[in-house]
Structure formats: structure tokens, C-alpha cells
Amino acid sequence: MQFTLADIWAHTGLFARFIIFTLAFMSIASLVVMAERIFVFRKTRSDSRTFAAKMGAILAKGDLTAAANTNLGKDVGHLGRVINSGLTAYKISPSNKDVAVESVARALERQAQREVQSLKRGLGVLATVGSTAPFVGLLGTTMGIVNAFQLMAEAGSGGLGTISAGIAEALITTAFGLLVAIPAVMAYNFLQGWVDARSVDISESSNEFLDVVARQLTGGAASHSPSA
């Protein structure tokens, strides 16, 4: 037996091939999630920055009614959807300052939770692949060792040539399991850190917007009406 990938593959059993195909599927799934999440994260960050620049200029004037009636389109990113939910709550809130502020705060919190959960979509796949791929490879390793002992028993001897095929089968599944798991774990940690950072950004922006609402209601409660 020549220890090349083609020769090792030719000597692997059905169970080892099943393990390898399973790991290949897990690898493809994790790569798809990585690519999709990176694309989504880049777009939502760009849209959020554009929204923040436009809406920030409007809110700097202190006119929440004008801000609530401004339509900046659908592509406003995660930050835009959170702030828009607060503006919508402001438009329909009662004239009582405390009730209005509380209503806006709840709307911001609800939408923020939705956005964070949306950003986390697919990360469970990466976590699952990263945590289970080594064990799937270990399962193939175990069966490879069992096959090696079976070959040893059939041959009635324990020479290296007798068990080399089984050992090679065991090692290749272990290596493949690690090869699948390592990128998945690294991608999960990176993307989860990105989501955590955006969660902080959303929280800070929501608090700043809530301060603007409180100042507006304190200084201009008379001009604020539910139909605005």
C-alpha cells in the first residue's frame, strides 16, 4: 500500500467513507454560513452607517416629528430598523411624557432583540460543526482501529504491513475532522464577536435616541400629538 490520498481512499471501508462524506457535508455547510454571514454583516454595517449619517443630521435639529416622517428607504441596516421602531412608537405614543418614553424604550428594546437574533442566524451551524466534527472524525478513527485489529486477527500476526491500512484509515478521518472543525470554530468566534460589538452599538444608539425623545417631550410636549 502506497500512503497517498488516492491509495488510502481506495483502502478505506464503507463506514470510513460515510464518515468522510459526513464531514465533507459539514464543511460545505459551515463554508456556506461563513460566506452568507460575512455578506450580510458587511451590507448591514454599510446600510447602518449611511442611515446614521442621514438620520443623525435630522435628529441634531431636535425635530423628532420630521424624523419620524422621513422615509430613508428599506435598506437602513440593523441600526436603522431599531431607530425606526422607536420613531414609530414616538408617533403613536400618548402625550404623557413618562408613558411615551417608556413606550419608545420598549419598542427599541424589542427591535434590538430581534436584530441581534437575526444577526446570530446560522451561527448555531458553525458552533455545531466546530464542536462535533472532531468527534465524528474520532468515530471514524475508532472504527479504523477496530478494522486494524480485525485484519491482525485474520492474518494471525501483528506486523505493520498487516494493520497499516486500518491505521491510515483511522488517521485520515481524524485529520479530516480537525480540518473541518478548526475553521468553523475560528469563524464562529469571529462572527460572534462581531455580533456582540453590534449589540453594544445598538444599545448605545438606542440610549442616545431615548435621551433625544426625553428632551423633546420635556421641552415640546405641547407640540407633540399622537397623530404627528
How many helices (H) and strands (E) in the chain?
7, 0
- Residue 222's pLDDT band, with cuts at 50, 70 and 90, is very low
Q: Indicate whether 173 pLDDT > 80.
A: yes
Q: Where is average pLDDT lowest: 83-87, 91-95, 202-206? A: 91-95
Which residue would you say has higher pLDDT here, 53 or 5? 53
Q: Indicate whether 156 pLDDT > 70.
A: no
- Residue 193's pLDDT band, with cuts at 50, 70 and 90, is very high
pLDDT computed for residue 40 by the predictor: 94
Contact between residue 109 and residue 119 where contact means Cβ atoms under 8 Å apart: no
pLDDT computed for residue 225 by the predictor: 37
pLDDT computed for residue 141 by the predictor: 85
Q: Where are the domains of the chain?
A: 11-218
Average pLDDT, integer, range 195-211:
92
Mean pLDDT of the chain: 83
pLDDT computed for residue 217 by the predictor: 76
**Cell 459551515 maps to which residue?**
30
Per-residue cell: 164: 497499516
